[in-house]
């Protein structure tokens, strides 16, 4: 995954480059050298950080049983 950073000036000059860059990973747009996340938060009404949203502390007590590869293995049915 590649993280691309573009200035707002670069974005205005080459929108196609920004669109193509989204296929490889996140694209950060900088305004005067700072990420434009404040405007996104204002528009969405969200003041939470993405890391806080992904953490989901309300689900800390969930146990996840991940089977071992040997438990998943089975003979091939060649008929």
Map residue 7 onto helix, strand or coil: strand
In a domain, 56, yes or no: no
Q: Tell me what pLDDT residue 40 has.
A: 66
Q: Can you give the pTM of this predicted structure?
A: 0.44
E strands, the chain, are 4-7, 27-31, 34-35
What is the mean pLDDT, run by run of 10 residues, along the chain of 79 residues?
Answer: 86 92 87 74 70 71 77 80
State how many domains the chain has.
Answer: 1
Please choose, from the candidates 35, 29, 26, the residue with its C-alpha nearest in 3D space to the C-alpha of residue 12: 29
Contact 67, 45 (CB under 8 A): no
Cα 27 to Cα 44: distance, rounded to the nearest angstrom: 18
In a domain, 79, yes or no: no
Q: Containing domain of residue 28, as a range?
A: 1-50
């Amino acid at each position: 995954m590649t993280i691309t950073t573009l200035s707002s000036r670069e974005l205005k000059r080459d929108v196609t480059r920004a669109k193509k860059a989204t296929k490889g990973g996140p694209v950060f747009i900088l305004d005067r050298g700072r990420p434009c996340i404040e405007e996104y938060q204002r528009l969405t009404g969200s003041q939470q950080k993405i890391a806080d949203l992904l953490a989901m502390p309300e689900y800390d007590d969930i146990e996840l049983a991940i089977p071992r590869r040997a438990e998943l293995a089975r003979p091939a049915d060649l008929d």
